[in-house]
Amino acid sequence: MPRKARDVKRALTSKGFREEKRDHSYYFLVHDGQKISAIYTKISHNDTEITDNLISQMAKQIRLNTAEFYRFIDCTLTARDYVQKLANTGHL
């Protein structure tokens, strides 16, 4: 189900991602004060809606499956749970 770009941006920034504006808006995970370059995603500046296909790609980029990414956006997957999942899977 497509989501509004502003909701995705809000979820990313509220859960430890820092925005860097370039040709797109890039979102890098910051953990313990360090930027984790391997965990990032991007959103085009003019996107107002994120399609299902893009959601799937973004989920992979931040090391989640699509269902988990929807939970991430809807805030039922907390920042703490997300970091714990990354640690458990060896991404942190």
Structural domain for 39, as ranges = 3-88
19 phi and psi angles, rounded to 5 deg: -85, 135
Tens digits of pLDDT across the chain (92 residues): 899 999 999 999 999 999 999 989 999 999 999 999 999 999 998 889 999 999 999 999 999 999 999 999 999 999 999 999 999 999 98
Please tell me the distance from the alpha carbon of residue 68 to that of residue 56, in angstroms, as a whole number: 10
CATH number, domain containing residue 67: 3.30.920.30
How many domains does the chain contain in total?
1
